[in-house]
Each structure stands twice: as C-alpha cells, then as structure tokens.
C-alpha cells in the first residue's frame, strides 16, 4: 500500500492510494484526526511527552481531547517542526533527566503516527514524505535518519510545492506556480509539468529506503515535474496567531497562554469565511472574562504592522526574477495553486490577485493537494529537481579580514551533475604538510532567519545582515583535511585539483588529485548527504 504524509507545522495530512478507485484518499485515523466532521480530516501536529526516557508520547487530536494543550506544561509541544535542524536560541526543556530536542520530538511524533497508521492499514509498502522547499539539508538529513527505523520497505522524499502541482491534477498546464502557505512556512515554486515523457529509469526524487520490490514499471509512461524557480520565507499561520495574541494583550490585557493562542487560531480561521469573528475567554485564575472580537480590516492592519505583505512581496519578486532569467514572464504562468491553511485568508488571496488574474488562481484543495500529489511519485511520476541552495568553500577575505565563502556549485544546478566542477589549490606557507578545505551550504545573501525562544514562545525573525548564511558541512576534526602533501607543499604553484560532484541521491562527493605526484588522494569521497 502506498502512503503519503504531509508533515505540517500546524496540521499533518495522510493520504493513501486506493487500488480499487485508482484515486488518492485522505485517511481519518481514530484518536489522531480531528473528529468534528472536518473535511478533509487533519491530524493536529501536537505532542505531549509522558515519559521521555522510553519515548512514551500522546500525539494529534487526543492531546486536545485530554486538555493537555491548555497549560504551560513543558511536556507539551506545538510548532516543533520549525525548530528541527535550526540553531535554537534559548533553552530546551529537560524531561525525565534528559534534554529533549526538537529533532527528538519530531521523531516521536512521526513514529507514533506511522505506528498507528500501520496498525490500522495492516502494514505499509511505500511511503512518500514531503519537505519544505527552503529547508536546509539538516532537516532533510534528519528526516532521512528517522526513516531508517520505520517498518516500511520504500521511502521517498519530495518537495511540497512540486507535490501540490501534481495534487491539483493540472498536468495539461505546462507552467504552474504553487503558493504553499501553511502554519510555519511560505513556499513559492514555479513548476513545469510534462506528461509526454517516456520513462527510461526509476522515478527520481530522493530515495530514502529501497526494499526488494519496485513499485514502478520502467516501461510505463509517466508525467514529469521540473522545478524552475523557488523562493520562501519562515513565515506562517503560527506567526499570525501570536500577533493576534499580542494585539489582545495590548488592547485588553490578555495574558498569553496555550489557551489564548488556540483562541487566536480560532478567530483567524473564522475570518477565512466571515467578516467578523469573536470568542469568549475566561481566566480561571483572576475569574475575569473577555470577549475577543476582531474583523478583517483589523487583521489586515495587524499584518501590515508586522511587515507581512512586504515579506510576501519579497518572495514573489525573487521568484519572478528567477523566472525572467529563464525567459518566463508572468503571462506564461498558466495556473496559480494555493495550498496550506493560511491561503484561506481573504487578505492573502487578495495579495495573490495583485500579481495574477483571478481566473488563474485555484484554492479549492488547500489541505489535501500536497499529500495527494506526493502519492503520484509512487504511481509512476518522475520528478526532475535542482539544488535549492548553493554550496561553496570557505576562504580568508584579506580585504575585510574575515572568512567568506566562494560558491562552487550554484543554486539551480540540476542533479545528478553531468560534469564535475573543478577547483585548483596551492600551498599557502612553506613546507605545508596538508591542505584543509571547509565546505558549506550557502543560504540567501540578503539575510537569514533566526529561530529563538521568547519566554515559552518559539519564534523566528529575519536578520538582514547582508552576509551569506552558511551551514558548514565538514567543519569538524578529521573532516577538514582533504590532502596530505608528500613531499610538502610550497607557495607559488598549483598543487591539488579537486572535482566536486553531486550524484543522483544528492550526495556531495569530491575527488582530489595531487598535481605534483599525479596520485589520486581521494576518490569519490562523500562530503555530506544533501538530503
């Protein structure tokens, strides 16, 4: 049985391929899914840790059913996806004599969901997991590690926007823009679909696990999806919830708590279908009650105060500039697909209409499109993608007296690479015994996003430093040295040649040749797993 999981910051969606109807269907998991007639059924991305020492947890809707999300309890976690793979500023809780990380919380959540899913469905053969388009490779690597322990034969990974394009079933439209705006991230992806390509190999997309069976007949015709441009922000519905709480704290003295955050989320959801929303809050400590009211105009003002639309414009401008460099104009985009809970807000839809005519915009499947589209990967879809981030080497910038980074493999490079990138280096001092090289994953040049704690609140903020954000890949003992020089090196001449290559599974590898001795010092050496 083929299953796809869209693990979201606020909600998680699980779909399966029905072999009888030959269509995807969203699953309702007892105790995990919201049981209030919600269509489609969603699993709240919530977890309560009962015993950290043995990984005993409660996840999904049952956390709310037991009221475990209404108090400031360090055992309760929400929005934890944001912290996975990020450098957290602040303190993580110690539960049952051990420090609990967001990576561990995420693993507990997914493992428990898949365990209950497996019990209900009677085993899984194929699993496709979706990932944010702007996630650093540390998140992808974490997800790959989690998958190794899962009782599933084949596990694949697919970018969320690409999956959404497939999920809307618009393969006859060649160029699509997917706007994925969920609880934690905004992802824009320009995707080119082509259903006429004859498959000559197994489906692409990053393969995490592969059992003895192949789900795809290599003779069948498949649709292909190629990502042309990407842009994103660490911005989502969770931020809006906190901004609403801050507004009521300022105007009515409301104290932030898990309950008031939930009320703010309800108000936001109401404003998706109503012009005005209201909720009643009772403080059981002060015995005061509050009637919280807000309308769409006030919400728009709150969003403007937090530069919400400026951030959206920044991402859209970035994406359209990438498209124009490839000769694609706005008029060439045939459809705009909106996915994620935040796209249901009228102010967001109005913002999209500033760039595209309403006839092109689709928003009828905001929750299911990603998970259902990901199922296509298990049904014969080939996905051609490129590297979202650049990868470079660190060097000493004499002018500014600091380390800087030189791109070697630039963002937009398709993989597997047909030709290696070459770099020639020489010794910098007399009788140099070895050469070290630190490689990193390069983020945006315009700034970065910092994940930090504000009290008990997990927050993100943009840092417009003008410097490249870098995730070092091999900056640790034993990994920096790429060449032992025999005889020692001297300045003034080239000494080693390095070949950089990214293979089909997004492994960054290097081959190092000694130009003096003509020896191969390293051959196809793995530097990092870029997935």
461: tokens are 């903020």
Q: How far apart are CA 323 and CA 320, in angstroms?
A: 5
The neighbouring-strand residues paired with 434 are 484
Nearest Cα to Cα of residue 436 among 490, 478, 493: 478
Angle between helix axes 308-325 and 346-353 (nearest 10 degrees) is 40
Res 453 pLDDT > 80: no
Nearest Cα to Cα of residue 163 among 7, 374, 16, 366: 374
pLDDT value at position 213? Answer: 34
DSSP letter at 8? -
pLDDT value at position 346? Answer: 96
Res 223 pLDDT > 60: no
Query: What average pLDDT does the structure give for the chain?
Result: 82
Per-range mean pLDDT, top range of 159-173, 373-387, 411-425:
411-425
Res 457 pLDDT > 70: no
Res 214 pLDDT > 50: no
Q: How far apart are CA 68 and CA 494, in angstroms?
A: 64
Helices (H) and strands (E) in the chain, counts: 10, 33
101: tokens are 């990380």
Q: What is the pLDDT of residues 363-384, one digit of tens each?
A: 998 999 999 988 877 666 555 5
Q: How far apart are CA 502 and CA 14, in angstroms?
A: 31
Q: What is the pLDDT of residues 95-122, one digit of tens each?
A: 999 989 999 999 999 999 999 988 887 7
What are the b/e assignments for 40-77, b being 16+ CB within 10 Å? Answer: bbbbbbbbbbeebeeeebbbbbbbeeeebbbeeeebbb
Rg of the chain taking only CA atoms, in angstroms = 24
> Span 62-75, mean pLDDT?
89
pLDDT value at position 202? Answer: 36
Q: What is the pLDDT of residues 461-475, one digit of tens each?
A: 555 444 567 878 887
pTM to 2 decimal places = 0.68
> Span 439-443, mean pLDDT?
81
Res 451 pLDDT > 70: no
Res 433 pLDDT > 50: yes
Q: What is the band of 27 on the pLDDT scale with cuts at 50, 70, 90?
A: very high
pLDDT value at position 531? Answer: 42
pLDDT value at position 134? Answer: 55
Contact of 60 with 90, CB cutoff 8 Å: no
Contacts of 297 (CB under 8 A, 6+ apart): none
- For the chain, give the percent of residues with pLDDT over 90: 42
Q: What is the pLDDT of residues 277-313, one digit of tens each?
A: 999 887 766 677 888 999 999 999 999 999 999 999 9
Query: Do the strands 335-339 and 175-181 form a parallel or antiparallel pair, or are they unpaired?
Result: parallel
Peptide bond into 416 cis (omega under 30): yes
Q: What is the band of 199 on the pLDDT scale with cuts at 50, 70, 90?
A: very low
Q: What is the pLDDT of residues 246-289, one digit of tens each?
A: 999 999 988 888 888 889 999 999 999 999 999 988 776 667 78
pLDDT value at position 301? Answer: 97
Contact of 129 with 5, CB cutoff 8 Å: yes
Contact of 203 with 222, CB cutoff 8 Å: yes
| Structural element, H or E, at residue 165 | helix 160-167
pLDDT value at position 447? Answer: 46
Q: How far apart are CA 338 and CA 144, in angstroms?
A: 27
DSSP letter at 445? T
Res 152 pLDDT > 60: yes
> Span 136-159, mean pLDDT?
78
Contact of 146 with 127, CB cutoff 8 Å: no
């Amino acid at each position: 049985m083929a299953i796809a999981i869209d693990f979201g910051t606020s909600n998680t969606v699980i779909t399966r391929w029905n072999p009888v109807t030959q269509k995807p269907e969203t699953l309702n998991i007892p105790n995990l899914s919201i049981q209030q007639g919600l269509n489609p059924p969603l699993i709240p991305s919530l977890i309560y840790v009962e015993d950290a020492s043995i990984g005993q947890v409660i996840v999904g809707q049952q956390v709310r059913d037991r009221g475990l999300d209404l108090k400031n309890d360090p055992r309760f976690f929400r929005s934890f996806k944001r912290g996975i793979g990020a450098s957290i500023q602040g303190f993580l809780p110690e539960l049952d004599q051990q420090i609990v990380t967001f990576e561990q919380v995420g693993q507990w959540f997914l493992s428990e969901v898949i365990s209950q899913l497996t019990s209900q469905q009677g085993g899984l053969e194929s699993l496709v997991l979706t990932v944010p388009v702007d996630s650093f490779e540390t998140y992808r690597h974490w997800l790959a590690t989690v998958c190794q322990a899962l009782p599933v034969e084949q596990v694949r990974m697919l970018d969320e926007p690409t999956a959404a394009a497939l999920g809307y079933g618009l393969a006859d439209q060649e160029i699509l823009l997917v706007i994925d705006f969920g609880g934690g991230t905004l992802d824009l992806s320009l995707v080119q679909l082509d259903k006429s390509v004859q498959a000559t190999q197994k489906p692409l997309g990053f393969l995490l696990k592969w059992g003895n069976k192949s789900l795809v007949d290599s003779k069948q015709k498949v649709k292909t999806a190629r990502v042309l441009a990407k842009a994103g922000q660490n911005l989502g519905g969770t931020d809006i919830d906190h901004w609403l709480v801050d507004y009521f704290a300022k105007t009515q003295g409301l104290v932030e708590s898990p309950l008031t955050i939930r009320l703010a989320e309800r108000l936001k959801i109401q404003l998706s279908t109503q012009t005005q929303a209201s909720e009643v809050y009772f403080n059981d400590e002060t015995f005061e009650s509050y009637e919280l009211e807000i309308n769409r105009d006030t919400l728009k003002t709150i969003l403007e105060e937090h530069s919400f639309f400026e951030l959206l414009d920044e991402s859209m401008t970035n994406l359209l500039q990438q498209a124009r460099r490839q000769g694609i104009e706005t008029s060439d985009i045939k459809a705009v697909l909106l996915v994620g809970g935040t796209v249901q807000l009228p102010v967001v839809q109005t913002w999209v209409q500033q760039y595209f005519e309403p006839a092109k915009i689709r928003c009828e499947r905001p929750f299911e499109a990603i998970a259902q589209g990901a199922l296509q990967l298990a049904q014969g879809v080939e996905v051609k993608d490129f590297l979202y981030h650049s990868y470079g080497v660190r060097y000493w910038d004499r002018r500014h007296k600091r380390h800087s980074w030189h791109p070697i493999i630039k963002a937009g490079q398709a993989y597997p690479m047909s030709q290696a990138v070459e770099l020639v280096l020489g010794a910098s001092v007399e009788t140099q015994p070895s050469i070290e090289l630190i490689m990193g994953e390069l983020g945006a040049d315009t700034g970065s996003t910092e994940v930090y704690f504000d009290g008990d609140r997990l927050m993100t903020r943009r840092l417009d430093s003008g410097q490249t954000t870098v995730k070092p890949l091999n900056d640790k003992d034993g990994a920096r040295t790429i060449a032992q020089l025999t005889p020692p090196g001297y300045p003034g001449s080239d000494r080693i040649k390095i070949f950089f290559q990214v293979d089909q599974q997004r492994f960054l590898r290097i081959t190092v040749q000694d130009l003096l001795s003509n020896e191969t010092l390293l051959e196809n050496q793995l530097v990092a797993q870029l997935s």
